[in-house]
Structure 1
Amino acid sequence: MMTRNGFITLLVLLVITIIFQSVVVVRDTEKAFY
């Protein structure tokens, strides 16, 4: 059974992962251009 705090923690981790992957993609794209 999922508690509210557990759900919020998963949601935060998911957002952080998406942001981190976006930053990595942007850096790779910049390396490709420069």
Structure 2
Amino acid sequence: HPFSITSAPSDDYVSVHIRTLGDWTSELKAVFSE
């Protein structure tokens, strides 16, 4: 699975890490890198 929630329940934000494992996640990385 390429998506991991990495923030703690007590945090005021949600942190999500995305691994680039294929075409879809590679394109998603490119969009957010702009």
By percentage of residues, which structure has more strand?
Answer: 2
Give the TM-score, by structure 2 length.
0.37
Q: More relative contact order in 1 or in 2 (CA 8 Å, sep 6+)?
A: 2
TM-score, length-scaled by structure 1? 0.37
